[in-house]
Amino acid sequence: MAILPILRWPDPRLSRPAQAISRITPEIRSLAADMLETMYAAPGRGLAGPQVGAMLRIFVMDTVWKESERCPFVILNPEATPASTELLTRAEGCLSLPGIMAEVTRPALVDLRWTDLDGQPRTQRFHDFAAACVQHEIDHLDGIVTLDHLSPHARARAEAEYIP
């Protein structure tokens, strides 16, 4: 396993969509292990492929490890659908935008479908912080960062504060 360098915005790879994973190769397993190690070392709660320059639809997530035991997820080819009309706004940090907290409004409850590292289809409902994390990481797979959710005024203010 290895700790990978995390790209910082405005690296252009953070603004490009990632490709679906068609086959789970040893390279994909190794990438997933490295991404988990990189996320825990950062320290962070989520990390998407493009953030380490892997333009593939993969992210890793563990929303609880800072408070309790590790509970790692490796998510391939995710698809999230809102499971309620309720929205939540929270200040989101991002390992690719150090020092920037951006207020993002998202559905409070999502159903996530994905493929796990054994190639099995999985579904699970995520709420609150975990729902925001899932949607934040899927954004990365679509070339979207938190700044892209801000109004022009709020974005200009955040960019003025940002030191890459």
| Interaction site with Zn ion (CB under 5 A) | 94
Beta carbon nearer to Zn ion, 109 or 138 = 138
- The whole-angstrom separation of Cα 126 and Cα 81 is 10
Nearer to Zn ion, 10 or 24 (CB): 10
Q: Which single residue brings its beta carbon nearest to Zn ion?
A: 94
Of 37, 69, 79, 137, which is the active-site residue? 137
> Does 79 participate in catalysis according to the annotation?
no
Q: Is the peptide bond before 5 cis (omega within 30 degrees of 0)?
A: no
Residue 104 Cβ vs Zn ion, minimum distance, rounded to whole Å: 11
The least CB distance from residue 73 to Zn ion, in Å, is 15
- Residue 146 near residue 19, CB atoms below 8 Å: no
What separation in angstroms does the CA of 21 have from each of 55, 88, 91, 119? 10, 30, 30, 10
Phi and psi at 103, nearest 5°, equal -75, 115
Q: Could you tell me if 52 and 4 are in contact, meaning their C-beta atoms sit under 8 angstroms apart?
A: yes
The nearest distance, CB 97 to Zn ion, in angstroms, is 7
Q: Which is nearer to Zn ion, 13 or 118 (CB)?
A: 13
Provide the annotated active-site residues. 137
